[in-house]
Structure 1
Amino acid sequence: MIGYVEKIIEEKKCFERSYSEALILAAKKIKKSEIRNEIHQKIISSLKVGELPEFLVKSSGKGDKLSLRSISSFRASLSMRSRKRQLSTILPEWILDDKVRSYAFVDKLGIDRPLIFNSHIKFSEIDKGEKIVIKPVSGAGSRGVYLVENSDNILDVRNSKLLGGWKSLEFSIRNDLKNGLVKNDDWIVEELIYNENSLEKPSRDIKFYCFYGKVALILEVRRYPSKGYCWWSASGELVNTGKYDDKVIQGDGVSKKEIDLAAAMSSEIPAPFVRLDFHKSSERLVFGEFTPRPGNYEKFDEKTDQLLGDYFLEAEGRLMDDLIGGKKFEYFNQFLNEIDINS
């Protein structure tokens, strides 16, 4: 299998290299000024960012202004951010990835969040409580998340399925750990947020794609009776992104006040991007968690990927301007002084 994969990789590289070299050669050979920009623009749009030759990039800075927008990419930006993390760079958005620790920062901002009843405990230590959420300390994509109205009425969020009782919950959690859906027997127990006091109407998830003080996209998620999704622009318009196109629902939307809240929160974090996830009941918008790298981000269509890529680059610029201008990020620094970032 390894040899087979290596052969395909080499063939792919050779194939792409041949086409890139041919396109770059064509760009060099174009002499007629009346068609040069049009051809150069098409070639730029077809090349990956690492394939662009210096002479084309240089041309984008001249009066004729070839656009480099096609190389903006949310996928590439998040992937590079992950590479920075591998290089032992301490990234603010990843410090906030810890669900329990992040609440200390949210408290400084005065944002509504669920009450935590227990954290970092084994499942066997959890009491059969009522109106609680049981979720892993480290997890994503609703894996291992259970809403407990009482010991006989429990919702498996990931599978949008009501469980018969606590025995069924024990069995499901054992399977989560056995199958690797949840890595560690390490759990949080917190307040349940839902609509109309009915487990069959759980709160919807509202996920704000925030780029240092600006909201670009909002994802509204229904978890029960079946999973459904709805995308909104920051101006309140329904949009398609290429993700979840087969599971679209009629969303409730969010208010300008809620969008402004998410934008203001993200402006207190010295990072170009972080997703802010909330629970929205009929009565309140409650903070859930920070997500530094959304799952399956590669599934956005090209238009959305470029749009979010531009938001990312613009956010980096605004952040750098603020840092050079002396912005202190007082809430975030107070939070850092109170935690052990290596834990």
Structure 2
Amino acid sequence: MTSPATTPRILVNRSALKIDAQLVGVPANTCSEWTLIKNGKIVEASTNSISSPWQPRNSLTPGVYEVHAKFETSTGESEIIATLPMEFGQDLQSRPPRKARPARRNEYPPSFKELVFQEARKSYREPEYSAWLLDVKTNAYRFAETLGYKTPILETQPFTATAIPLVRGTVVKPLTGVMSQGVFLLGEEIRDLANGTTFSSLEDVRIPMNQLVESGKIKKDEWIREKLIHSDIDPTRPARDIKFYTFYGQVKLILETIRNDGVERCWYDQSLNTIDTGKYTKFLFPGNGVPLKYFQAAQEIGSNIPSPFVRIDFLASNDGVVLNEITPRPGGSNQFHPSVDRNLGETLIAADARLRRDLVNGKKFDAFNMVRLSS
């Protein structure tokens, strides 16, 4: 049991379309009053002992929820705590992806993995005019800060693997990279995020860093430091990743990732229904929901980038929306089920048409151009 001196808070866990919540940081056996609020209206209220988690009697239906707790303090005064709003859709994770619609004769159905590859080939000609400008993390952070969003960056100047300061409470990662390659969490536990390897000392981290550079898996010996962000659900754990597949401001797919002793993932569609995309099927869990403000932030950031597709990654923390990175070409896109690949491909084509329209009409991408002109 957490010490009474700890700031009281609510821990909420989700299983399918049910939740359980528990107060921590309060004396044992304290009686509490719980209220479940959906879309601003009370849907359930009951009392509960601190010694066991509180569970609503009914399953959740799609909507935005808050959990409130009220209890008596040592001075006899009431205190109310509320969680972050969480939006839940339907649980469709157990359903396999639908079959791809047959193509007509002489029709080549759009493929997301192919179109993203083609976008990457285009950007090689003029990378500073494409989303690949923001693949450099320091550029992405300056772009996000211009739009008013927080970032975890500590220094904008990169270090070599030999020179970078290694301090607990930070994250070390390459200036550019994909799929968590070369990302090291320097918390109470020192861990390689890509493969889960732990290290006994901070200096031991330099060995795999140099190996990644020597092997060519990390192209340049340029590393940055970030603040280690903690989870909005369990502050003792690293923040969960929430990755938005955005198509010029339209969110089509969301991936929630939690890395504790293992890796768990949950896919959501644009309506926040939990789904199976064919990728990471063996690692799926019911998910914890997506705060609405992250959804809105992804839409705003994506609509300010002159690209038909980017994946926008956030860290979910109690400090609000924190941008982690912007990725023009996510790894593993070939693992999507054919129907998902086709659906995302059609969405990318539609986004490209909207972008062309706005460019012809003279839309200004001020935040993007500020980064481009100062790089």
- TM-score, length of structure 2 as denominator length: 0.68
Unaligned runs of 5+ in 1: 1-41, 53-67
2:157 aligned with 1:99, yes or no? no
2:175 aligned with 1:137, yes or no? yes
2:368 aligned with 1:322, yes or no? no
Name the CA shift for 1:254/1:43 in 2 (closer, same or farther; >3 Å): closer
1:122 Cα shift? 1.3
Select the residue among 268, 274, 280 that pairs with 2:316: 280
State the alpha-carbon separation in 2 of the partners of residues 173 and 270 from structure 1.
33
Question: Is the partner of 1:177 in helix, strand or coil?
Answer: helix
Which residue in the other structure is 2:223 paired with? Answer: 187
C-alpha RMSD over aligned residues: 2.3
2:146 aligned with 1:108, yes or no? yes
The answer as to whether partners of 2:239 and 2:317 remain within 8 angstroms in 1 is yes
Which residue in the other structure is 2:110 paired with? Answer: 72
Name the CA shift for 1:335/1:168 in 2 (closer, same or farther; >3 Å): closer
Mapping of residues 1-343 of structure 1, within 5 Å = 45=103, 52=106, 71-88=109-126, 90-117=128-155, 119-149=157-187, 153-195=189-231, 196-198=234-236, 201-339=237-375
Name the CA shift for 1:257/1:89 in 2 (closer, same or farther; >3 Å): closer
Question: Is the partner of 2:149 in helix, strand or coil?
Answer: coil
The answer as to whether partners of 1:234 and 1:259 remain within 8 angstroms in 2 is no
The answer as to whether partners of 2:212 and 2:218 remain within 8 angstroms in 1 is yes
Unaligned runs of 5+ in 2: 1-99
The one-letter amino acid paired with 1:125 is A
Alignment: residue pair count: 274
The one-letter amino acid paired with 2:155 is F
Residues 284-293 or 109-118, more deviating: 109-118
1:304 Cα shift? 0.5
Name the CA shift for 1:326/1:197 in 2 (closer, same or farther; >3 Å): same
1:220 Cα shift? 0.8
Aligned residues with identical type, % of pairs? 34
State the alpha-carbon separation in 2 of the partners of residues 175 and 301 from structure 1.
34
Question: Is the partner of 2:331 in helix, strand or coil?
Answer: coil
Deviations 1:244-294 (A, max 9, x none): 111112311212332121011110111100110111134433101110001
State the alpha-carbon separation in 1 of the partners of residues 248 and 126 from structure 2.
22
1:88 Cα shift? 4.6
State the alpha-carbon separation in 2 of the partners of residues 266 and 180 from structure 1.
31
Structure number having the greater strand percentage: 2
Deviations 1:10-46 (A, max 9, x none): xxxxxxxxxxxxxxxxxxxxxxxxxxxxxxxx99717
Deviations 1:174-233 (A, max 9, x none): 3333433323321101111123553xx211111100001100000111222112211001
Deviations 1:37-83 (A, max 9, x none): xxxxx997176xxxx3xxxxxxxxxxxxxxx6x61221221122122
The answer as to whether partners of 2:230 and 2:238 remain within 8 angstroms in 1 is yes
The one-letter amino acid paired with 1:210 is T
The answer as to whether partners of 2:123 and 2:130 remain within 8 angstroms in 1 is no
Choose 1 or 2 for highest CA Rg.
1
State the alpha-carbon separation in 2 of the partners of residues 250 and 44 from structure 1.
31
State the alpha-carbon separation in 1 of the partners of residues 252 and 161 from structure 2.
38
Question: Is the partner of 2:103 in helix, strand or coil?
Answer: helix
1:298 Cα shift? 1.2
The answer as to whether partners of 1:119 and 1:189 remain within 8 angstroms in 2 is no
1:302 Cα shift? 0.9
